[in-house]
Structure formats: C-alpha cells, structure tokens
Amino acid sequence: MTTLPTSTEKKLGLAIDLDTCVGCHACVVSCKEWNTSNYGTPLSDEDAYGAEPHGTFLNRVHSFEAQPESGCSQTIHFPKSCLHCDDAPCVTVCPTGASYKRSEDGIVLVNEDDCMGCGLCAWACPYGARELDQLSGVMKKCTLCVDRIYNENIPEQDREPACVRSCPAGARHFGDFADPDSNVSKLVGERGGIDLMPEMGTKPVNKYLPPRLKDAPSEARLPETNKDAKGFLAWLDKALEAI
C-alpha cells in the first residue's frame, strides 16, 4: 500500500557534513556504478559520448556560494539524494502501489514491477530526488543501497551505502536516526543538523550538518605586506621617486 507506516522501527539515513564535502563527485560515480548493476533496471545514459549527454543519477553534487554580511563568501559543495522522508509525499501519490516506505527501517523504495512511469512521485518530491529512467520507463531513486547494507556476501566494512563507502573526505555518515546513541544522532546533536525545506512538512530522515561559522571571517583583500620597504628596495623606491 502507498499509505505511510505510522512509525518505523529504525530510521536509516545519512548525515551529510557540508563542512567536510570537497565536491569531488566520487559519491556520484560510485552510486551510479553500484546502482546501475544491482537493484532494478540499469541507470541509463543517453548520448553518453555525444554533444548532449544526459542520464539517470540517484545522487548529484551541487555547489553553492553563500555571502556573509562582511568578508569573503563561502563555497559549499552540496550532495543531494533521497532524504527518505518520514512524511514522504512521493509515496502517498503513487497510484499503482510501486512506491513504499518500509516499516522496518524507513527506507523509501520503488517496486519497479508495479511502476507505470507516470512521474507523479517525482512531481511530489520537493527535492528533485526521483528521476524517471528514459530507457526503462520506471522511476529510479536512492535505495540507501539496501542491497549492500544487509548483504552478508560482501565484507562487513562494505555494508554501508556506496556513497558513504567511497567518500574520501568522510563527509557522509550512515546510521539509525531512531537510536539517540547512534553515530548520526550524535553528529546531528553536536552540529545542529538541519532539515532541507522544513516548510514542505516532509520530515526528512537525512540531515545536513551546516558549515560551521568562521570564528575569524576572512577579508576579501590580503593585507599589503610590502608597504614599508627596507634596505636596497627602500633606496630604490626613494631614488625612483626623486627622478
């Protein structure tokens, strides 16, 4: 059923550290690599080597610039994938029952055997987290690598989402938000983790750890260090002025 579970036993999701992300797009590539060859149909690309390549991705990294009232602007790399919302509007709009939220761990999934490709769930998602695959005609979204995290055929250290496993900076953390002592719950508590677009009322499970405010805001211009020349340069300066 596309009604939402009243509560989920676990709330598996990601805490994404915007202070740490370096914008390398490794998570984008590893997500595509894992998910094109595992759960469901492949993530297709069209015109991949042509003039207008486009394709399906479950995770994309945007880069923003925020300008404080004084001093330099800050560049923030911003990975974005499904937030596995508690009140997921994409699930309830689904007419065929393909979209569902799991009551055991809160992961939002698409059963591709039921999807008719109407695209209404992608319209309902405020975050742009769902993409209709143009070749297979079914809706694709982040599965939180459900086929890795419970997979006993792979080494234990690999049993986390591909994006988390591949992040060279450690900007993505995977865990259970229902457990107040989990790594992600602690991080969110310490760093004041936030929801994206709270005004949409979707109650996202994934949280973003906002960039720490700079204790000493950098200035736009470097201080002039060679104002008071000494020795030979001081003599040259004077001599040139005298001409």
Judged by CB under 8 A, which stretch of 73-81, 151-159, 174-182, 234-242 contacts another protein? 73-81
Q: Which is nearer to another protein, 53 or 189 (CB)?
A: 53
- Check binding of 93 to another protein (CB under 8 A): yes
- Check binding of 208 to another protein (CB under 8 A): yes
Q: Which is nearer to another protein, 64 or 235 (CB)?
A: 64
- Check binding of 94 to another protein (CB under 8 A): yes
Place of tokens 């694709």: 140
Q: CA 158 to CA 117: how far, in whole Å?
A: 32
CB proximity list for 7: less than 8 A, separation 6 or greater: 103
Q: 175 pairs with which residues across the strands?
A: 13
Q: In angstroms, give the least distance from the CB of 223 to another protein.
A: 23
Judged by CB under 8 A, which stretch of 29-37, 155-163, 170-178, 208-216 contacts another protein? 208-216
Number of residues that make up the chain: 243
* Residues 103-162, interacting with another protein (CB under 8 A): 113-120, 122-128, 131-134, 136-138
* Type and span of the H or E element at 202: none
- Check binding of 26 to another protein (CB under 8 A): no
As to burial, measured by CB atoms within 10 angstroms (0-12 exposed, 13-18 middle, 19+ buried), residue 177 is: buried
What's 162's DSSP letter?
Answer: H
- Check binding of 22 to another protein (CB under 8 A): no
